[in-house]
Amino acid sequence: MRKYRCNNPTCPVATIAWPMVGYVWDDKKDCPCFTCPECGQPVTQEGPCEEKNRLTIADYSRLAGKTAVYTGRNTIKGLLYCALGLAGEAGEVANQAKKIIRDDDVALYQKHESLPEERKAKLIDELGDVLWYVVMSIRELGGCPDAVARQNLSKLSARAAHGEIKGDRREKDYGRDSNA
């Protein structure tokens, strides 16, 4: 069971718990949305996706930049610092994934809900560090994280439209600079 919160402050059902059945993805909210059976208002999963806690990529980039304390910002040294930090943090994510196989008593094809909460928390923490280094790497290159996200979605949408979302499709151009 997961908990969901109705967005209607006057709803008599403040917090509802029921299985995740029949949910749809709302592209505007990027999280599972339901309709409250009591009042008919939209319901969202409790946690970091709640509306009051929403953070855009642009907001995150701006706030992450305030925490960036390293020498060589806006130089090749700054880019290398971020790229190597990204590789290191991605390694930490991989290390946590390895520990799922080695330490956690879960079958590989079980749902992620079967993972121990501590392991999920560690993975999410490391992924947060990966996110920071991705955003800072983009900024070091003078790019805009929002634009990179949009460009990536455009590329993936083009691949999906051509039925080529799997595998290595680098030989084809999907809206990327052909010199890349």
Which one of 1.10.287.1080, 3.30.70.260, 1.10.275.10, 2.30.30.100 gives the CATH number of domain 57-161? 1.10.287.1080
Instruction: Specify the residue for token string 């749809």.
Output: 24
Reply yes or no on whether the pLDDT at 17 is more than 70: no
Neighbours of 180 (CB within 10 A): 6
- CA atoms within 13 Å, Cβ hemisphere of 74: 2
Where in the chain are the domains?
Answer: 2-51, 57-161
For residue 155, the model assigns a pLDDT of 86
Query: What are the tokens at 21?
Result: 């059945």
Return the closest-CA partner of residue 66 out of 165, 132, 131: 132
**Mean per-residue pLDDT for 64-80?**
95
Radius of gyration of the chain (CA): 20
Confidence of residue 32 (pLDDT cuts 50, 70, 90): very low
Assign 13 to helix, strand or coil.
coil
SS3 76: helix
**pLDDT, tens only, 77-88:** 999 999 999 999
| Averaged pLDDT for residues 124-140 | 96
Quote the percentage of the chain above a pLDDT of 90.
Answer: 38
148-154: long-range pairs with CB below 8 Å, 24+? 149/57, 151/175, 151/176
CA distance to 15, 17, 24, per residue, from 136 (Å): 38, 38, 33
CA atoms of 151 and 46, how far apart (whole Å): 30
**Paired residues of 43 in beta bridges:** 6, 34
- The amino acid present at 14, given as its one-letter code, is A
pLDDT category of residue 108 using cuts at 50, 70 and 90: confident
| 68 confidence band (pLDDT: 50, 70, 90) | very high
CA separation for the pair 47, 9 (Å, rounded): 17
The CA distance from 90 to 99, in Å, is 14
